[in-house]
Amino acid sequence: MTRAPELNTPRTGTDVGDTLHPRTAEAKLDEVFSFRELARLDEALTMSSRETGLRFTLYVGELRAPTRAHAEELHARSGHHPTDAVLLAVSPGQRVVEVVTGAGAARRLPDRACALAVLSMTSAFGSGDLVGGIVNGLRQLSDQAGHPAGLRPH
Amino acid sequence: MTVAETLLVYAGIPLAIVLVLALLTLRPGADRRPRYKPGQPWNYAPVWYEPHPAATGGHGPAPAHGPAAVPGSGTAALGSSMYPEQPGERALESGHGVGPAVGTGSGGAHGGATAARLPHPAGPLGGARGTW
């Protein structure tokens, strides 16, 4: 239960390339979520990141005691430009969800919008639906962040 | 048609079909996992998921992701897990880190211990917190 989260970088949900990119620490890929749930999470993360231009990452696991500080520390390591990163940290054991937005992302995702998404997530988590809550929260966050003009396709 | 044949055709065959269907539906699922219930301990190692690498690069091919795209082709590695992002890319990037965060807004209230370890200060952080 108290395994230290020594994750240095996030990974994609359907990153199964064990032959090309060996990961010794991970014994079973679908230990936490089934492959179908992983595909849903992966699609939600990828689509919301692509639509908004922000970088959404999702952490599921134990958070150290000041959960906010740990989530912010993870957020700082979440990619090349943490300014435009949004971290969803869910700790089902502690029943805590944290949303951390960088300075650039916070301009498009005000704290009120994050709180609303967190509210819908916690109501789903409370009924035991982890993946559904995460997917809905991501959808709500990306809807709020909108589609920047620079990313408009045609 | 003898009695035995009649029994075999009109009772045996339907019974066999029913048994096969019952076995198919009632057998324990091979990949059945315990459903999460609030209040249970979470005994899994932490996982951290990220979007696919070309996700934030707009709709064209992402030029910056060397290993994330098929070499020699202009195709973006959208949704491809064949060439995952290498950890070395981030290590390179963190070499020339920016200085400590200037703006200490809502995020700077958590003390210097956290801020000293940040490889990439992202300015004043926002967000929300919830429990259930």
**pLDDT per position as a tens digit, A75-108:** 988 888 889 999 999 999 999 999 999 998 999 9
What's the pLDDT tens digit per position in A16-63?
A: 433 333 344 445 777 888 888 999 999 999 999 999 989 999 999 999
Listed residue (A17, A100, A16) closest to A57, CA to CA: A100
The ipTM of this complex is 0.78
Cα dihedral value A104, A130, A41, A142, nearest 10: -30
Answer yes or no: do A95 and B38 touch at CB < 8 A.
yes
User: Which residue type sits at A65?
Assistant: A
Binding-face residues of A in 72-91 toward B, CB within 8 A: 72-85, 87, 91
Q: Is residue B109 scored above 50 in pLDDT?
A: no
- Cβ atoms of B51 and A46 within 8 Å: the answer is yes
pLDDT of residue A59: 94
Q: Where are the domains of chain A?
A: 35-143
For residue B70, the surrounding DSSP H or E stretch is: none
CB contact at 8 A, A58 and A46? no
Query: Which is more confident, B83 or A115?
Result: A115
Is the predicted pLDDT of residue A154 greater than 70, yes or no? no
Place of tokens 């807004």: B105
Neighbour tally for B87: CB within 10 Å? 12
Residue in chain B closest to A36 (alpha carbons) equals B31
Spatial neighbors of B72 by CB under 8 A, at least 6 apart, are: none
**pTM over cut 0.80:** no
Give the contacts of B12 (CB within 8 A, at least 6 positions apart).
Answer: none
Residues of chain A with C-beta less than 8 angstroms from the C-beta of B100 = none
Asked if residue A112 lies in contact with residue A140, where contact means CB atoms within 8 angstroms, the answer is no
B65 in contact with chain A, both atoms CB, cutoff 8 A: no
Cβ of A83 within 8 Å of Cβ of B131? The answer is no
Separation of first and last alpha carbons in chain B: 69
Per CATH, the number for A35-143 is: 3.10.310.50
Range with the lowest mean pLDDT among B14-23, B42-51, B87-96? B87-96
Enumerate the residues of chain B whose CB falls inside 8 A of the CB of residue A8.
87
| Chain B CB within 8 Å of residue A22 CB | no
Residue type at position B80: S
